[in-house]
Amino acid sequence: PTPAIHSHDETADLTKALGTTISHLGDVVQDVSHNSSTMAQGDFHENITHTYRGDFVTIEQSIKTIHSSLKDTLLRINHSAGMVAASASQVATNAQSLSQGTTTQASAAHEMSITITDISENAKQTSAAAEKAGEYVNQASSQLDASVDCVKELNIAMDKISGSSKA
């Protein structure tokens, strides 16, 4: 504050002008401080509307440019973060699908392994049965050969009997 002057001369006019300048300067400092503080806290909802005078117009323009630039940058970052989150969700969904597919394939491979084991076991049993059948065929063949020999001997004996009854 400026001292109180009770005269009406040039000193009073100068003191009054100085008081007005100090008041305007205080308004600029207070506005710059307020806007800087709200931006530092991440609040960009409030529009900067205070108009500065004289040499302070460049400060006003700079604060408005900084505010606008930071607001746009934060909006782009927020948008990018949303896209990253959506992509991460999609990656998680795809990973889960891949995991389920892998589990399904592992289950199918396990079932196929069991089926192959069953087929192999059945083939072994069939081979063993065929081998046993081959043994039975060999036994039957041996018995058939013995029976043929017996029939030949019987025929020879019958020929001898038949030959002795004619003589």
pLDDT tens readout for residues 99-133: 999 999 999 999 999 999 999 999 999 999 999 99
Whether residue 48 contacts residue 35, with contact meaning beta carbons closer than 8 Å, is answered with yes
Q: Which amino acid type is present at position 19?
A: G
pLDDT above 70: residue 167: no
* Buried-exposed string 83-117: b where 16+ CB fall within 10 A, e elsewhere: eeeeeeeeeeeeeeeeeeeeeeeeeeeeeeeeeee
- pLDDT category of residue 147 using cuts at 50, 70 and 90: very high
